[in-house]
Structure 1
Amino acid sequence: MLSTFPAPHAPTLLRRVALACCALAAVHCAAAEPAWMNTRLSPDERARLLERELTMDERYALVHSPLSLDLGPFKRPQGAPSTAGYVAGIPRLGIPALAESDASLGVVNPAGARPGDTATALPSGQALASTWNPALARLAGAAIGQEAHAKGFNVLLAGGANLARDPRGGRNFEYLSEDPWLTGVMAGASIAGIQSAHIVSTVKHFALNDYETSRNTYNAVIPDDALRESDLLAFQLAIERGQPGAVMCAYNFVNGEQACHSKTLLGNVLKGEWGYKGWVMSDWGAVKGVDAAHVLDHQSGEQLDKQVWFGAPLRAAVGAGTIPQARISDMVTRILRSMFANGLFDHPAVAAPIDVAAHGQLAQRVAAEGIVLLRNENKTLPLAADLKRIAVIGGNASLGVLSGGGSSQVTPPGTPPHIVGLGGNTQMDVFFRRAVFYGASPVDAIRARAGKAEVVFDDGRYPVSAAALARSADAVIVFGTQWNGENEDTPDLSLPQGQDALIAAVTAANPRTIVVLETGNAVAMPWLERSAAVLEAWYPGQNGAAAIADVLFGQVNPSGRLPVTFPASVEQLPRPQLPGFGLPPDSSYDIRFPEGADVGYRWFAKTGAKPAFPFGHGLSYTTFAVSDLKVEGGKTLTVSFAVRNTGARAGADVPQVYLRSAAGKPVTRLIGFDKVELAPGEQKRVSVTADPRLLASFDTAARGWRVTAGQYTVAVSANAADPGISGNAKVAGQLLKP
């Protein structure tokens, strides 16, 4: 597969002339290169040298950009690709254009604006997080980066690191988990993978973009220490580990400041305390005025704002002295610095072949590792080889596997996806609200692995008919789907369109019923106790059907673990009623976070409520045992232990290390994990050293992480609710920088 539009950066006239002159004079060509093209200099030095050469007009041209689509009244710039955003280059200085693509789950071709251009559609972010495999996250990121580079893109709007605070959040499927450590580690690995392909990746949406209902106007209210210990820690870890070239700020307000204008978030924390050197770009349509330029470096999707604030208004503000001219230089230097750091000058994005087959296999591996076996009564799974009749019911399982909607929607190669329009009241509704089913169907994948068994499908529209089919089958596989998309949340935890009633009827008719869930969030399961087995497959990407079938028939031993808690009901949540539900669109209201830093499993530990399935839960077709725990103290904790496969087949375990008490104070907090592949009877030793911030509380007055001296207890557990095996050690008191 080749790029479908010209690369944003070709060799400049300046360089061509220089090379020609060098060749004629038979001298070393490097001498004719501009100083900023000296790769022996640091990205900071190169950016400073180049920034000095820009005119003021050129500087202003780099700090705002349009949505690059022919969409309604919007027109893309001449010569630009159809994509999320485009910043024209400056040929006289060899500055490449910035061609920006949405890429949370693969390189996006928005609404098919580039005819025939497809890309690998990876599973959802929560599916990736369910693998608990940072190395796999890096491989997935690298595949996205390689495809983007081969298509001429050099900036990817990826790296979602918001915590999943509420299982009704519409974009949770793009994010990763409810835990700062798991999120930071996995997001950082994905970002590093993307940028290994000489691409700038963002990390987004900074911060507390937890809801889609009135996302432009709600105000997230949370104490500073709680924010630092939860959502901001996830971003901090992702930035430290992935070194993203850009941060994308959020639509919402945080403690009264609009996120893209926030001097607290962007100025004091991100650029100040964390020393972030890249640039901050706005989300599309998130800039409310020119004053954002005090901390924001780039206005993105400028047509979606009331004005091009970083055009004429910014020039006027600099002329009036309300924004220093030095700030414009800083904005531009940050952009150039990330471009140099990630190879955009030295390794320009050019058309190249893409290994579609290899990337498809990778997508299938992520899907398979991310499937979580939630329940498996009487070893119902894997399915036996001697079945005579298998009923497959519901979930559009004859069409494909479901994907999430919005700006992350990818168009995969191969069989065109099936699109079910959901309608709406605005042009944006029509653009975003499409249920897209990928690839080969689960029905076909099941038939391919079922041997001599007859596989019969029922669409599930009528529970009575589905139940009748279920009674006649040796095994039943019923699919439940939940479509989530950008710009809307779900009002509750049910499966929509009466699917819970369907599954209840089928499980009542046949006790050998396996439920396969394709969802963007945790869901309630009123039919759970009647089911024989439950698989959470999330949105499993373009090869998800094959991955699901492989797990069902035992060709893959499931190793996924939940990255979020599955509550038993909405009453167990910190906010039982969905914030903003029933209010007019774009209503201004406060969302208070009584859980503070106790997100997800920590809230359940605090309240004592029993979830349907705890964070970290996941079953296998084999068994594991942990032993020989050793805990060493000092400035942090180092925890080592042995893991043995005690079953009859190969599999992967995910031992999780939780802090259970800190200097005498009860606490539940994930401080480390590993993924361990083991043959039957094999044993390996695992060692985890905790980041000291995970042992600390954030001291707002001292502006740092305070570790209290004392005895610390840890447990190596199968999930957050499992007591596991425990040990303790003494930790020294200290105050760490913020």
Structure 2
Amino acid sequence: MSAEEKVVLTHGIMPLPLGESTRPIPEDAVYGAGYVPGIPRLGIPALRETDASLGVAYVFGLRKDGATALPSGLAQAATWNPALVRKGGEVIGSEAHAKGFNVLLAGGTNLMRDPRNGRTFEYFSEDPLLSGTLVGNAIAGIQSNHIISTIKHFALNGQETGRKFVDVQISDAAARESDLLAFQLGIEIGQPGSVMCAYNRVNGHQACSSDYLLNQVLKRDWRWKGFVMSDWGAVPNLGAALNGLDQQSGAQLDPAVFFGDTLAQAAAKDPAYAKRLDDMNRRILTAIYANGLDRYPARPGGKIDLKANSEAALETAKQGIVLLRNERGVLPLARTARKIVVIGGYADSGVLSGAGSSQVHAEGGAAIKVPLDGGPWSAFLSEQYHGSAPLAAIKAMAPQAEIRFRNGRYPSEAVTAAKDADVVIVFGTKWTTEGIDQPDLTLPNGQDELIAAVAAANPNTVVVLETGNPVLMPWLDKTAAVLEAWYPGARGGEAIASVLFGETNPSGRLPITFPAAMSHLPRPELDGLATLETNFGGDAPSPDAKLTADYNIEGSDVGYRWNARKGHKALFPFGHGLSYTSFSATGLKTDGKQASFTVTNTGQRAGATVAQLYLDSRGGQTKQRLVGFSRVELAPGESRPVSLKIDPRLLADWSGNGWTLPAGNYVFALGDSAERLGPTVSTKLAGRRWSD
């Protein structure tokens, strides 16, 4: 490489018409999130980048080709099915490649430290083992198409409020045992070509200029060989290169193009920058050639199997729906139900999706768009619904029934209709988006009051939730059943109907805790929410503005671990999910390294369960950890042996320069959830230390 060529791969643009900031869009670019020119003289391909984890994003509506919308990250995680999540990655990767992209900005891994985070729907869970396992499989599926996947947002990107300047305070040990462990597992399993660093600060330093995160943890301790790309608009200065950043993405959004001529000049004068620049290129080229971007070039106009991809989205939605409550066995609904009333949630038109850079459109666009009230980002952040109408799917399941729809705008109208029905199905929706956190966990626009009124009028009220976060349910005890459908994607309406009528036996399990009260959270008030104006960019209101989020409060005890430590009982705990059949898990044996047991379908229907193995205590002290899981499908009366390998890092403490496993008694249990554990089994483990 010549000196000029060495700064070609180190920075890129957004290849979009962006007003005064627009640069000429290269002929070989595709409308998308990013473009990094190649070096034809050396046969190095350009990098054409697109969002995101849920499908090929629609980028402001500039491309009209459409894509398959998978269910949200939470819905995928609720399957607890690594193979299915990998299949979803294959779907997204194949469509991206066929549209001419060779880099996918996927792999959302951040743990849910605050349930009000606007991007919770994109991510997988609150647990490092579950998140790391699933994201690793998603990345492996994506990269099987000879494109690069990122893993993001590295790291501790726990809120959107003030996202570009909030300073996360956390100890090294707490980070390594929680969020960083999720990333570490995901990298080990998926081998992503790139890591995308986050907007936020960590212990005083921007994540994209954090020597601790990028040089010490990622490159030194984990010995990772790929390249670190910035998030768009997350590069503070040239010094980020020395602190481990390899590529400046969407450089129009930064104060300057630091990794172009400025970097070249620094490298010409300073041996440290010269050495770093060579390493930056080496890492980018490693990712390019390891994933075959040169040998399997992505070109627009490739063949897409839309039918097969649609079926993958449907199956993911079915497996991800969680049956939270089912009193008196009201579900599954009989197909002979005489009168059914469906209320609210635009159920006559489609299913809700989350917004921001992960937004996906089917060909033809959204079924419904509800724009924000003003603001420069209102068109980008409109509330959108995929065109898979639950009402139509319900009618198809019960063709002999009298089925009526009420939009729920007037509770009195909904109540009148509910009184005359055999069954009422109320859809509760909560739209969430990148860039904006939720103020609380209620359902907006009076929906909690609507559900309460309808449930009081008819005891056979079933609530279907389409949400991107946990929600409180003040009406819960009045309802007969509750389904959490998340944002269920391109075929969501059909998936919901399939579960409601029993064509699909629900097998989803919660990947996050639904807290019983806001006071149970480590931070009952979201940092900055009361004082900062809503700002999609997340920029500081002034150069000296400060915002701190203290993650040392809970440390590594995120979600269900926090509840176990504090003795809180969840509204619905991590791992919870009901079925139309029943299961037992018996005969647990473990030496702390492996575990074996038998799972049996003790009911009358075929179905799937998720066997969950937890560390319950260590050395006599509560230390709850998910240490293994397996989704098991069984016919009625069928039994199957299950064996799980236990990663010792899940049992250990980070000591500062490695892992320490204290000698002592370790107590394990199988559970239907983090709060419903079976008989315990204890084993003594010898103490030991090791490094990554």
Question: Normalised by the shorter chain, which TM-score bucket?
Answer: over 0.9
- What per-residue deviation string (whole Å, max 9, x for no partner) do you get for residues 381-417 of structure 1? 0001321110000111112000000000011136743
Q: Residue 677 of structure 2: which of 723, 726, 730 is its match?
A: 723
Please tell me whether residue 418 in structure 1 is matched to residue 418 in structure 2. Answer: no
Please tell me whether residue 306 in structure 1 is matched to residue 250 in structure 2. Answer: no
- For the 8 Å contact 2:8–2:39, the answer to whether it is kept is no
Letter in 1 for 2:631: K
Aligned position for 1:644: 600
Letter in 2 for 1:356: L
Aligned position for 1:12: none
Please tell me whether residue 481 in structure 1 is matched to residue 437 in structure 2. Answer: no
Distance in 2, matches of 1:323 and 1:582, equals 44
- For the 8 Å contact 1:218–1:590, the answer to whether it is kept is yes
Letter in 2 for 1:286: A
- What per-residue deviation string (whole Å, max 9, x for no partner) do you get for residues 254-291 of structure 1? 01111000000001110011011000000000001110
Aligned position for 1:8: none
Aligned position for 1:26: none
Structure 2 spans left out of the alignment, 5+ residues:
534-539
Distance in 1, matches of 2:618 and 2:409, equals 53
Distance in 2, matches of 1:109 and 1:322, equals 43
Distance in 2, matches of 1:431 and 1:313, equals 35
- For the 8 Å contact 1:565–1:600, the answer to whether it is kept is yes
Letter in 1 for 2:20: P
What SS does the corresponding residue of 1:542 show, helix, strand or coil? Answer: helix
What SS does the corresponding residue of 1:466 show, helix, strand or coil? Answer: helix
- For the 8 Å contact 1:493–1:569, the answer to whether it is kept is no
Structural mapping, 1:343-492, within 5 Å: 343-350=292-299, 351-413=301-363, 416-425=366-375, 427=376, 429-492=377-440
Please tell me whether residue 708 in structure 1 is matched to residue 662 in structure 2. Answer: yes
Aligned position for 1:591: 549
Distance in 2, matches of 1:653 and 1:504, equals 31
Letter in 1 for 2:615: L
Distance in 1, matches of 2:26 and 2:595, equals 58
Aligned position for 1:58: 5
The offset of 1:312, in angstroms, is 2.5
Aligned position for 2:578: 619
Aligned position for 2:155: 207
- For the 8 Å contact 1:432–1:485, the answer to whether it is kept is no
Structural mapping, 1:134-173, within 5 Å: 134-173=82-121
What SS does the corresponding residue of 1:478 show, helix, strand or coil? Answer: strand
What SS does the corresponding residue of 1:251 show, helix, strand or coil? Answer: coil
The offset of 1:605, in angstroms, is 0.6
Distance in 1, matches of 2:265 and 2:302, equals 44
What SS does the corresponding residue of 2:676 show, helix, strand or coil? Answer: coil
- What per-residue deviation string (whole Å, max 9, x for no partner) do you get for residues 174-193 of structure 1? 00000000000000000000
Aligned position for 2:287: 338
Structural mapping, 1:574-589, within 5 Å: 574-585=522-533, 586=540, 587-589=545-547
Which has the higher mean CA deviation after the structures are superposed, 357-366 or 54-63?
54-63
The offset of 1:345, in angstroms, is 1.2
What SS does the corresponding residue of 1:146 show, helix, strand or coil? Answer: helix
- What per-residue deviation string (whole Å, max 9, x for no partner) do you get for residues 52-92 of structure 1? xx111111111001111112334352212111000111111
Distance in 1, matches of 2:141 and 2:444, equals 36
Which has the higher mean CA deviation after the structures are superposed, 705-714 or 189-198?
705-714
Structural mapping, 1:130-279, within 5 Å: 130-279=78-227
Letter in 1 for 2:359: Q
Q: Which has the larger radius of gyration?
A: 1
What SS does the corresponding residue of 2:378 show, helix, strand or coil? Answer: helix
The offset of 1:319, in angstroms, is 3.3
Distance in 1, matches of 2:379 and 2:627, equals 41
Distance in 2, matches of 1:601 and 1:485, equals 24
Distance in 2, matches of 1:323 and 1:476, equals 68
TM-score by length of 1: 0.90
The offset of 1:196, in angstroms, is 0.6
- What per-residue deviation string (whole Å, max 9, x for no partner) do you get for residues 550-571 of structure 1? 0000000000000000001211
What SS does the corresponding residue of 1:554 show, helix, strand or coil? Answer: coil
What SS does the corresponding residue of 1:138 show, helix, strand or coil? Answer: helix
TM-score by length of 2: 0.96
The offset of 1:104, in angstroms, is 1.4
Letter in 1 for 2:11: H
Distance in 1, matches of 2:679 and 2:314, equals 34
Aligned position for 2:246: 297
Letter in 1 for 2:214: L
Aligned position for 1:676: 632
The offset of 1:579, in angstroms, is 1.1
Letter in 2 for 1:607: K
Distance in 2, matches of 1:188 and 1:552, equals 32
Structural mapping, 1:503-652, within 5 Å: 503-585=451-533, 586=540, 587-593=545-551, 594-633=553-592, 637-652=593-608
Identical-pair percentage = 56
The alignment yields a C-alpha RMSD, in angstroms, of 1.2
Aligned position for 1:50: none
Distance in 2, matches of 1:211 and 1:665, equals 31
Distance in 2, matches of 1:630 and 1:584, equals 52
- For the 8 Å contact 1:228–1:698, the answer to whether it is kept is yes
Distance in 1, matches of 2:480 and 2:473, equals 13
Distance in 1, matches of 2:490 and 2:34, equals 25
- What per-residue deviation string (whole Å, max 9, x for no partner) do you get for residues 463-488 of structure 1? 11111111110000000000000111
Query: Aligned in 2, Cα 1:269/1:304: closer, same or farther, shift over 3 Å?
Result: same
Distance in 1, matches of 2:507 and 2:238, equals 49
- For the 8 Å contact 1:424–1:433, the answer to whether it is kept is no
Distance in 1, matches of 2:417 and 2:664, equals 62
Letter in 1 for 2:547: Y
- For the 8 Å contact 2:120–2:469, the answer to whether it is kept is yes
- For the 8 Å contact 2:324–2:578, the answer to whether it is kept is yes
Moved over 4 A (4+): none
Query: Aligned in 2, Cα 1:632/1:724: closer, same or farther, shift over 3 Å?
Result: same
Please tell me whether residue 655 in structure 1 is matched to residue 611 in structure 2. Answer: yes
Distance in 1, matches of 2:208 and 2:379, equals 25
Distance in 1, matches of 2:127 and 2:214, equals 22
- What per-residue deviation string (whole Å, max 9, x for no partner) do you get for residues 700-727 of structure 1? 2xx1110112221100110000121221
Aligned residues: 677
Which has the higher mean CA deviation after the structures are superposed, 575-584 or 510-519?
575-584
The offset of 1:431, in angstroms, is 4.0
